[in-house]
């Protein structure tokens, strides 16, 4: 199998060239780049409501890139705070990493 993507970035092209030498790595790269790394989180109705309540408690908080407090918060910070406050997991802070976390 040859992995071929339309990439303009030279570093990404080098990575693809290296991956083409290893079928297992190619498969893992494709899975990760398309689906992320899924982790299951069991959500009861009470847990879902707790996450929503936490998020709602930030209504009116000023938006600021990188914020994770009642003083200022951004969108991924809101998700981060809401999930981490209600679950015993280490959920990523950055949106790109959240996308890789799974559904």
Distance of CA 32 to the CA centre of its chain: 12
- Could you give the C-alpha distances from 38 to 28, 75, 103, in angstroms and in order? 13, 21, 6
Q: Residue 3 above 80 pLDDT?
A: no
Q: Which residue has the higher pLDDT, 12 or 79?
A: 79
Whether residues 27 and 56 share a domain: the answer is no
- The pLDDT tens digits for 23-33 are 776 677 666 66
Closest CA to 82 of 102, 73, 64: 73
**51 shares a domain with 84:** yes
Contact 74, 80 (CB under 8 A): no
The predicted pLDDT at position 42 comes to 67
59, pLDDT greater than 80: yes
Q: Is 0.85 topped by the overall pTM?
A: no
Is there a domain that residue 25 lies in? yes
How many whole angstroms separate alpha carbon 81 and alpha carbon 34?
A: 26
Contact 81, 68 (CB under 8 A): yes
Same domain? 54 vs 29: no
For the segment 44-73, the average pLDDT, to the nearest whole number, is: 93
Residue 31 lies in domain = 1-35
Over residues 53-63, mean pLDDT: 95
Distance in angstroms (rounded) separating the CA atoms of residues 99 and 103 = 8
pLDDT, mean of residues 3-31: 64
- Residue 97: the pLDDT is 76
Least confident of 2-6, 23-27, 83-87: 2-6
Count how many domains the chain has. 2
Is the confidence at residue 45, as pLDDT, over 70? Answer: yes
């Amino acid at each position: 199998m040859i992995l071929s993507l339309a990439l303009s970035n030279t570093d990404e092209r080098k990575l693809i060239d290296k991956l083409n030498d290893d079928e297992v790595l190619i498969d893992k790269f494709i899975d990760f780049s398309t689906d992320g790394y899924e982790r299951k989180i069991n959500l009861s109705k009470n847990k879902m409501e707790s996450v929503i309540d936490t998020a709602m408690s930030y209504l009116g908080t000023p938006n600021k890139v990188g914020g994770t407090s009642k003083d200022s918060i951004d969108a991924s910070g809101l998700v981060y705070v809401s999930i981490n406050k209600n679950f015993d997991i280490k959920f990523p802070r950055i949106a790109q990493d959240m996308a890789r976390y799974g559904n």
